[in-house]
Amino acid sequence: MSAISSLVPARFLTVTAHLVIVITIFWSREHNVRACLPLDFTQEEYEREDTKLVIGLSVTLGLFAVELVGFFSGVSMFNCSQGLLSLAVHCGASVSLSFYVFQKWECWTYWVIFALCSVLPAFVELLLFIAVFGLKKKAL
């Protein structure tokens, strides 16, 4: 099996692992929200941090949609550069978010992981999608 053809399943598996961990954080976000707050917090502070985390996780799911549409449409399925980028960042996100859940890291670390591991590959995927479908010349 060549290196290029092995990128496709590896990329799919790492994206799926990242997606599963994000869904798990949705279910168990109470402990992570409490890690963001001081020991004596009010209900209003808890709800504000919880809302921020829910918004971040929701945007992450939206970025997954962008990336998976590009992947399954074939725009970037066999693109080696996007495959390697996606494989690396989603693998890093899976490991980092696992630590985020189990070690109860503070909430600001989610935003760093979000920027590097969700926004970056989705942005590149969107650029590829625009380059393939948006800039295609119509025959006259």
pLDDT digits (tens, 9 = 90+) for 75-95: 888 888 999 999 999 999 999
User: pLDDT over 90 for what percent of the chain?
Assistant: 70
pLDDT-derived band at 61, boundaries 50, 70, 90: very high
Residue 18 has what pLDDT? 97
pLDDT-derived band at 137, boundaries 50, 70, 90: low
In this predicted structure, the answer to whether residue 123 has a pLDDT above a threshold of 60 is yes
Residue 139 has what pLDDT? 52
Tally of helices (H runs) and strands (E runs) in the chain = 6, 0
Two structure tokens written together for 93: 């996100």
- 60-69, 84-93, 101-110, 112-121: the lowest-pLDDT one: 101-110
Two structure tokens written together for 112: 């760093």
Two structure tokens written together for 73: 């449409």
Distances (CA, A) of 127 to 63, 73, 133: 13, 14, 10
Two structure tokens written together for 127: 């650029």
Name, in order, each residue with C-beta under 8 angstroms of 61's C-beta and a sequence gap of 6 or more.
19, 22
Amino acid residing at 102: F
Degrees, nearest 5: CA angle 22-131-4: 65
Give the chain's mean pLDDT. 90
- pLDDT, tens only, 12-55: 999 999 999 999 999 988 988 998 898 899 999 999 999 999 99
Residue 138 has what pLDDT? 58
Two structure tokens written together for 135: 């800039």
Q: Look at phi and psi of residue 74 and say left if phi exceeds 0, alpha if psi is from -120 to 50, else beta.
A: left
CA atoms within 13 A on the CB side of 109: 16
